[in-house]
Structure 1
Amino acid sequence: MTTAVPLMARIGIDVGGTFTDLVAAVPERGLVVHHKEPSTPADPSRAVADGLAAILAQADLRPEEIGGITHGTTIGLNAIIQRRGARIALVVTEGYRDILEIGRSRMPSSFDLYAGKEEPLVPRDRIVEISARLGPGGVPVAEPDAPELDRVAARLRAIGADAAAVLVLHGYTDPDFEEGIAAGLRERLPELPLMASATVWPEVREYERALVACLNAYIQPLMRDYFGRLESRVRALGVPAPIFISASNGGSMSLRSAAERPIETVLSGPAAGVAAAARLGMGAIVTFDMGGTSSDIAVTVNGSPELATHTTVGGLPLIVPVVAVSAIGAGGGSVVRVDDQGVLKVGPESVGAEPGPVAYGRGGDRPAVTDCYLATGLIDPATFLGGRMRLDADAAAKSLADLATRLSSEGDGADRVAAGALRVATAGMATELQKIMAQRGLDPRLFTLVPFGGAGPTHAAMLAEEVGITHIVVPPTAATFCALGAAGADLRRDFARSLRRRLDPASAARLADVLGELSGQARAWLAEQSATGAASSLSYSADMRYSGQAYELRVALDPGRFEVEAISEAFHAEHERLYGFRDQHAPIELGTARLGVVGPVADLPSATVPPGTGRPAPHGRRQVLLAGAWHAADVHLRTALGVGDAFDGPAIVEQDDTTVVVPPGWSGDVDGAGNLHLHRKA
């Protein structure tokens, strides 16, 4: 008698403002199932539970057959943007009470003398000074005694904060010093969540490090409450599997780690989609995630998403590593308008899901990009969302015709205004993409474009033609791609420690010691993530610069080769690649040592697609406005396309969650994994 091997299905979840996307991947069956559940903004965990029950039934899975659930959430991000986090306090070195008020002493806008200053995350009356300070070399200059800790604890108790953070000048040089102060305060205030900044992120620059610690404390009570509700609802369904949370670096972490360090999850949504695209194995790619409000663009080289160590969240700088995603205000809901000078503009304002574009018929009276897709024939109003939501093409055309009367040119109808608006939106996307590529010294013509999101495949060819990309790959489940990315997200965390030393044999040895310490922390973290048996991999890098330069370069380092010659050559080579020259005689400064650890999960199965006929018969034909002219385009159904099928543009490929546009001069074909490849003819 043989015992059946238990299934180890993985569930990926991506919570959006309108829909909660779920993907169930069952490698043993070669099965990938996707489901959309209406979101419940008042309590997102309810939609997650309802969607989880639905997808279990759809995939014919028992609760105990789930091996892991990975969930992406924007709760922390929204709390920061809307300033709806916890009431927090900050403990700082004596004399630095104004650290958040002063910031970097930069104006919000160099050209607007009346621009208002960003409100500090922690008001000055909730910032408490403490007699504690380290020197630049890590030697204590002032250390608090028991009465001093009693005084600070009493002040924190009087403030009535929900959480607090501790920041000591030069705390990054010795994280244990700052953590010792935090531990002493926790003994006196056991009910108060309290985190040391150097424990959260031990990197130089006190203002940015203070913000990381404060933001972590700001969203921690909210996130812990949500994670508790989420786990209760999942367990109520009888699912015993571990729950993971998508991270901003494209990986994932356990529920416990996410509750301790929620700041590392705030940008997890876009990151999961980029990570999924990297696993397609297409080499150098540009991801294009176009939703209702914005378009997110990211670059992946050598199969790994590009990480940024500096970004902004809600107008505040954030220095933890995140997948480098650039957003522009051009999505399916972006408003099309004519400004006071008679110029056609698109975005950044969006009509949102309610009332939505005019074609939704929910009371919206301002045309959006989706209305332009209808007016140019790119979207069929009868098949939107698989026919579950019928659009009003006449209303869309009328709203665009009203704009035509306000344009300075004559003879423009609704269709020409729509085509012009799509060109304007495309130009904005192309400008952002070309800027990203130029900053990295990359040529977009050598990259493959991977579009996803509801509108990404519809707009992809327009963007590709604008920047010179000749190859597009549309995944089978493009509209739920971020949920698929969450399902296959590897366990990942980044570690850092600032050094701030000139490169010489002594500092190189110190760098090797620090990376060794971080390696130990990384392996210990991975062992806590319910990742028994996971084969980890470590990556090493350091921020460096020529002495006197204002900015640093992140340089990958070879494991075990931390001598001065190897480190300096790695920096020279990267500087030369980006800027075209090297300075062999200039001193090099070490900034921050960085280490990333990855614990891979099981590979997800590819979609099962039957063989095709080679030249599929179109489902129908319709008129579309592309490249300034109307064309009769073949309409294909994605579900009817098989492996090896090929066709020429102009064509439209419809699926239940998006529409793929194939312009004239392009061709399409389907590979063995069900991906739709679009190629621009020479």
Structure 2
Amino acid sequence: METVRSGVRIGIDVGGTFTDFVLSGAGGEMAFYKEPSTPDDPSRALIEGLGKLLDQTGMAPGDVSSLMHGTTIGLNAIIQRKGARIGLIVTSGYRDILEIARCRMPSSFDLHAAKEVPLVPRARIVEIAARLSPSGEVTIKADDAEIARVGGELAALDIDAAALVLINGYASPDHEAELARKISAAANGLQITSAASIWPEIREYERTLVACLNAYIQPLIRTYFERLGKGLQERGITAPILVTASNGGSLSIASAVERPVETILSGPASGVMAAVRLAQATGVHSIITFDMGGTSSDIAIASGGMPELATRTDIGGLPLVLPVVDVSAIGAGGGSIVWVDPHGVLKVGPQSAGARPGPVSYRQGGTESTVTDCYLTLGYIDPDGFLGGRMKLDGTAARDALAAVGAKIGIEGDAADRAARTAEGALSVTTAGMASALHKTLAERGLDPRGFALVPFGGAGPTHANLLAEEVGILHVVVPPAAGTFCALGAAGADFRRDFVRSLRRPLVGNAGLLFETFDALSRDGRAWLEAEGGVQLETRFERSLDMRYAGQAYELRVRLEPGIDDAGAVAEAFHREHERIYGFRDPDAVIELGTVRLAAVGVTPDLPTPRLAGGASVSPPKGKRLLFHRGGWVEASIYARSALAPGQSLEGPAIVEQEDTTVIVLPRWNAHVDEVGNLHLESAAR
């Protein structure tokens, strides 16, 4: 491979099964690499894979200008409840804040459903005599003796970190932050997260969870990046490391360690942002992203060049109120296990074989069939071409394991036929589950799948995309050139971004001046943060939004305020218009109440160069043929190398397009063509 020029960015996405790398050179050069993850120490796979990528491209460590890193360490720790041992400090009288929560049952239809176990048991919650009024005035002040008492109790708890939450703390974040520093000093330097400093928004329970989650994963994140930094230095790599965030942006390591809760969904968000940029470049206005990795599958919806952002999501059964790219889990991944329940019903997932031992075909000790074994048995993937031939798969072992599963559900025939029919049945179960979840997501928004293009990525996304599109009724699929490492590509191009909030909780009329003063204050905070991150030299922009409601409504609407809206009348009209769009009516005579003021500070990083396909022969012939099992029988499919396809070339299904990081399946009655930048467009004959 031609040596890549210096000044390159490398995007990294650490997943449960593979760690992905994308290298982007200043002249448009691109290189991609996948390394099996090492769950016991994620930094090991990252360092080893980065070294192999540099060797592959002929680069020296000093040629790397920046590393953009997405991680699921925090997310996995929360889901598996393997975070730090933490404590919680709360205003006197609120020790049961996590137990009481919102007084809601997990399920209205399941009287036996249990609540999530609180992150902090009651025995590790310490009360403090400190409180603020709703306007931020100190009503109960913690004196030195009280601070010393709290510090002493924390020191006796044998904890790694703690969180501090004062009632009405959101109204005066500086006061709560100063109290956190004093308590930390009294507790022998214990790291204490101030809830109001992390997220100064009204609602004590949700703000408490944000602070607790931050404290829960902070020691793990700090240790991980210390280990990673040391390992990179030993390899001679001194480039700065940026960490992608859940809102689709990026942070410095210092910010990520201080506020790790903002990185929980960094990997999925990076892929969505990369898909949005792809859609803008190809003129596709409405997309559904489909990220299928080794463990799970996620979707997101983007229209008009902007992804949907959610201000609330659930992480491991706990509500998170930070802005995140709105990604929904919809199904299984390539490592999801195929099994039979006690009633003889074929099931797929949610258990996953992961990276170790992995699918049966990996020959690493796995004994349970997975979705990847199904792909192999049906002819979707080449056992000798996985990861560009670096990892050989055992087709016979996969077939035998699936045949055994088929026997449990009464499928007859020889072992090969039984395995193929079982594998197709398992993929049908997987696809049906995905389609059901996707239909629900679209219906909630009043959207028609026929108006969207599906953008698949992840190692298994392009392999499964045509099956999902056909099931849902999507007529257009756009497969990026680096689909298998797409989240890493998104990380490489991430902008600096951080969200700032303040809760006002008052009528719009008479408070417009305060509203815009608050936006100005948040803008100053945003500029200061960008300067500290080193992004001040970049083009900057500020995105404003505001939560509002009619007086008496239980919930608020988040309204985006376009540039130029600078008076109460324009703000009111923006809310009326959004309310009418969502609910079908407006009430111009009702009092409008202000909720949370939101501002995103963005430092726009230079766009990644877009490599263009070289011109040449208009048609690249297939490199061979392979049988695919489809709808109960075998069909012959032409095999193409993705790297050999020329711009404008068309293919007819059934076809298989192979590349190092993934495989694209084109089903019968579907066609495909290649655009000038290498995207593969699959279109249904029914379109």
Task: Give me the TM-score of the superposition, normalised by structure 2.
Answer: 0.93
8 A contact 2:16–2:295 mirrored in 1: no
> Deviation of residue 549 (structure 1)?
2.9
Amino acid at match of 2:8: A
1:3 matched residue in structure 2: none
Rate the CA distance shift 1:367–1:551 in 2: closer, same or farther, 3 A: same
Aligned with 1:299 (options 288, 301, 310): 301
Is 1:549 the counterpart of 2:553? The answer is yes
Q: Does the C-alpha gap of structure 1 residues 222 and 400 become closer, same or farther in structure 2, counting only changes over 3 Å?
A: closer
1:405, CA displacement in angstroms? 4.2
In structure 2, what is the equivalent of residue 496 of structure 1?
A: 501
Aligned to 2:646: 642
Matched, 1:96 2:100: no
2:439 counterpart residue number: 434
Partner residue, 2:271: 273
Distance 1:627 1:580 in 2: 44
Deviation, 1:632, is 1.9
Cα 1:438–1:573, aligned 2, differ >3 Å: closer, same or farther? farther
Distance 1:318 1:423, change over 3 A: same
Q: Comparing 614-623 with 359-368, which one deviates more in the overlay?
A: 359-368
Is 1:505–1:563's contact at 8 Å kept on the other side of the alignment? no
Please say which of residues 232-241 and 171-180 is displaced more in the overlay. 232-241
Give the equivalent residue in structure 1 for 2:666.
662
| Cα pair 2:34 2:661 within 8 Å, conserved | no
Match for residue 333 of structure 1 among 315, 332, 335 = 335
8 Å CA contact retained: 1:611, 1:644: no
Of 206, 223, 227, 2:225 maps to 227
User: Offset of 1:638 from its aligned partner?
Assistant: 0.9
Aligned partner of 2:63 among 28, 50, 65 = 65
Of residues 632-641 and 103-112 in structure 1, the stretch that sits farther from structure 2 once superposed is: 103-112
Describe the shift of the 1:410–1:44 C-alpha distance in structure 2 as closer, same or farther (beyond 3 A).
closer
Distance apart, 1:560 and its partner CA: 4.1
Which of 627, 634, 652 aligns to 2:656? It is 652
Distance 1:394 1:154 in 2: 63
Counterpart residue number, 1:217: 215
C-alpha change, 1:433 and 1:493, in structure 2 (3 Å) is same
- Cα shift at 1:294: 0.9
The CA deviation at 1:340 is 4.2
2:424 pairs with one of 419, 422, 442:
419
Aligned residue for 1:124? 122
1:140-184 Cα offsets, whole Å, 9 max, x none, are 322222322222222223334322221111111221221232233
Aligned CA distance change for structure 1 residues 208 and 357 (closer, same or farther; 3 Å): same
| SS of corresponding position for 1:647 | strand
2:18/2:355 contact within 8 Å kept: no
Structure 1 CA distance for aligned equivalents of residues 143 and 364 of structure 2: 64
Q: d(CA) in 1 for partners of 2:189 and 2:182?
A: 13
Query: 1:521: how far off?
Result: 0.6
Note the alpha carbon deviations across 1:95-149, whole angstroms, 9 max, x for none: 0011112112223343443444322211222211112212223333222223222
The correspondence of residues 548-587 of structure 1 with structure 2, limited to 5 A, is 548-587=552-591
- Provide the secondary structure at the position in 1 that maps to 2:332: coil
Structure 2 CA distance for aligned equivalents of residues 267 and 70 of structure 1: 15
Map of 2:287 onto structure 1: 285
% identical equivalent positions: 58
Q: In the aligned structure 2, how far is the partner of 1:650 from the partner of 1:48?
A: 37
AA in 2 matched with 1:85: G
Deviations 1:507-531 (A, max 9, x none): x322212111111111110111122
Deviations 1:43-67 (A, max 9, x none): 3323322323332233333333322
User: Can you list the C-alpha shifts for 1:326-362, whole angstroms capped at 9, x where unaligned?
Assistant: 1134112223334444443322222333333333344
2:463 maps to which of 442, 448, 458: 458
1:461 CA displacement: 1.0
Q: Is the counterpart of residue 198 in structure 1 residue 222 in structure 2?
A: no
- Show the counterpart of 2:235: 237
Aligned partner of 2:131 in structure 1 is 133
Which ranges of structure 2 fall in alignment gaps of 5 or more residues? none
Q: Which amino acid aligns with 1:138?
A: G
Alignment of 1:18 with 2:17, yes or no, is yes
Residue equivalent to 1:536: 540
3-state SS, counterpart of residue 279 of structure 1: helix
Which residue identity lines up with residue 117 of structure 1 in the other structure?
Answer: K
User: Residues of 2 paired with 1:15 and 1:397: CA distance?
Assistant: 30
Runs of 4+ in 1 over 6 A off after TM superposition: 408-412
**Alignment match, 2:54:** 56
| Aligned residue in 2 for 1:149 | 147
Q: Retained in 2: the 8 A contact 1:453–1:481? A: yes
Offset at residue 189 of structure 1 (A): 4.1
Distance 1:25 1:582, change over 3 A: same
CA contact (8 A) 1:355 1:364 kept: yes
Do 2:106 and 2:115's aligned partners in 1 also have CA atoms closer than 8 Å? yes
Is it true that 1:485 corresponds to 2:490 in the alignment? yes
Match for residue 519 of structure 2?
515
Contact 1:293 1:331 in 2 (8 A): yes
Distance 1:71 1:580, change over 3 A: same
Seen in structure 2, the aligned counterparts of structure 1 residues 601 and 559 have a Cα distance that, compared at 3 Å, is same
Structure 1 residue 259 displacement after superposition: 1.1
Query: Secondary structure of the equivalent of 1:505?
Result: coil
- Which residue identity is paired with 2:383? P
**Superposition deviation, residue 496 in structure 1:** 1.2
3-state SS, counterpart of residue 106 of structure 2:
coil
**What's the counterpart of residue 249 of structure 1?**
247
Q: Is the Cα–Cα contact under 8 Å of residues 31 and 607 in structure 1 kept in the other structure?
A: yes
Please state whether the residue corresponding to 1:37 is helix, strand or coil. strand
CA separation in 1, counterparts of 2:92 and 2:473? 56
Name the CA distance, whole Å, in 1 between partners of 2:92 and 2:13. 44
**Structure-2 residue corresponding to 1:46:** 44
Matched to 2:294, the amino acid is G
Report how far residue 420 of structure 1 moved: 2.7
TM-score by length of 1: 0.94
In structure 1, runs of 5+ residues without a counterpart are 1-5
CA distance in 2, matches of 1:523, 1:297: 33
Deviation at 1:407, TM superposition (A): 4.0
With over 3 angstroms needed to count, the CA separation of the structure-2 counterparts of 1:430 and 1:104, relative to structure 1, is same
Distance 2:372 2:289 in 1: 21
* C-alpha RMSD of the superposition: 2.3
SS of match in other structure, 2:539:
coil
Change in Cα spacing, 1:190 to 1:519, as seen in structure 2 (3 Å) is farther
Match of 1:174 among 169, 172, 175: 172
More moved, 109-118 vs 591-600: 109-118
Using a 3 Å threshold, how does the CA distance of structure 1 residues 173 and 188 change in structure 2: closer, same or farther? same
Deviation at 1:542, TM superposition (A): 1.1
Equivalent residue number for residue 469 of structure 1 = 474
Q: Which letter maps to 1:23?
A: V
Give the Cα separation in 2 of the matches to 1:559 and 1:520: 17
